[in-house]
């Protein structure tokens, strides 16, 4: 199986731009359990990759997507929980502080149809770089903090299934989105 291929039927978005939706790597796959490499080049290729990751996340109704999920072993993730933060692009993200605790349902685009309850810190402070290589810090709580931690775990080869307390049944799943 080859990873990172383009899906054949490209479509256009409302603005007439080409959508480039990539294939999602689903479990089991080695790349999902390997640590990713630090990004050192902030070039056009990176911009294209980030744009494709966004298109792919939206196409599959995700709230986040990490590069290894489309077959790329690099420390890159996008998160968009449809709140006022918009799309957050995380390059070489690192958690620098966590606080509190939350337990809630979680899913993953690499585990279609699988949902489980996961306990994570309620707040998180991270440091990352943007698409131009500029460093920034970000503080998040609640669901955004959960989504960010889920994606950073992917970059370390850690899957949410290793943190699930209890898997959820279909009737408990109304309206849940995957990461
Ligand atoms: Zn995931």
Per-residue pLDDT of the chain (179 residues; tens, 9 = 90+): 333 344 444 556 566 667 799 999 999 999 999 999 999 999 999 999 999 999 999 999 999 999 999 999 999 999 999 999 999 999 999 999 999 999 999 999 999 999 999 999 999 999 999 999 999 999 999 999 999 999 999 999 999 999 999 999 877 877 777 88
Question: Quick check: pTM over 0.85?
Answer: yes
Q: Choose among 50, 38, 33: nearest CA to 131.
A: 50
Phi, psi of 2 (to 5 degrees): -100, 140
Yes or no: domain 30-175 corresponds to CATH 3.90.45.10: yes
Residue ranges per structural domain of the chain: 30-175
Q: How far is the CA of 153 from the centre of ligand 1 (A)?
A: 8
Tell whether 78 is in a known binding site: no
Question: How far is 66 from 170, CA to CA, in rounded Å?
Answer: 25
What was the pLDDT predicted at 178? 81
Do residues 145 and 122 touch, judged by C-beta distance below 8 A?
yes
Catalytic-role residue among 89, 106, 151, 177: 151
Do residues 154 and 166 touch, judged by C-beta distance below 8 A?
no
Tell whether 157 is in a known binding site: no
What was the pLDDT predicted at 175? 73
Question: How far is 107 from 23, CA to CA, in rounded Å?
Answer: 18
Tokens standing for 57?
């996340």
Is 106 annotated in the active site? no
Q: How far is the CA of 133 from the centre of ligand 1 (A)?
A: 24
Do residues 134 and 42 touch, judged by C-beta distance below 8 A?
no
Q: How far is the CA of 173 from the centre of ligand 1 (A)?
A: 16
Pairing of strands 64-66, 76-79: antiparallel
């Amino acid at each position: 199986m080859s990873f990172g291929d383009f899906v054949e039927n490209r479509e256009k978005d409302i603005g007439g731009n080409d959508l480039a939706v990539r294939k999602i790597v689903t479990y089991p796959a080695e790349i999902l359990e390997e640590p990713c490499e630090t990004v050192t080049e902030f070039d056009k290729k990176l911009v294209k990759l980030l744009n494709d990751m966004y298109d792919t996340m939206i196409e599959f109704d995700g709230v986040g997507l990490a590069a290894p999920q489309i077959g790329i072993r690099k420390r890159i993730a996008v998160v968009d929980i449809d709140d006022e933060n918009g799309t957050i692009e995380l390059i070489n993200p690192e958690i620098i502080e966590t606080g509190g605790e939350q337990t809630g349902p979680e899913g993953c685009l690499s585990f279609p149809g699988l949902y489980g309850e996961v306990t994570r810190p309620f707040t998180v402070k991270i440091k990352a770089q943007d698409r131009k290589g500029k460093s920034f810090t970000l503080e998040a709580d609640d669901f955004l903090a959960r989504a960010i931690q889920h994606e950073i775990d992917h970059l370390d080869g850690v899957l949410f299934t290793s943190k699930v307390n209890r898997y959820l049944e279909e009737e408990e799943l109304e309206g849940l989105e995957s990461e």
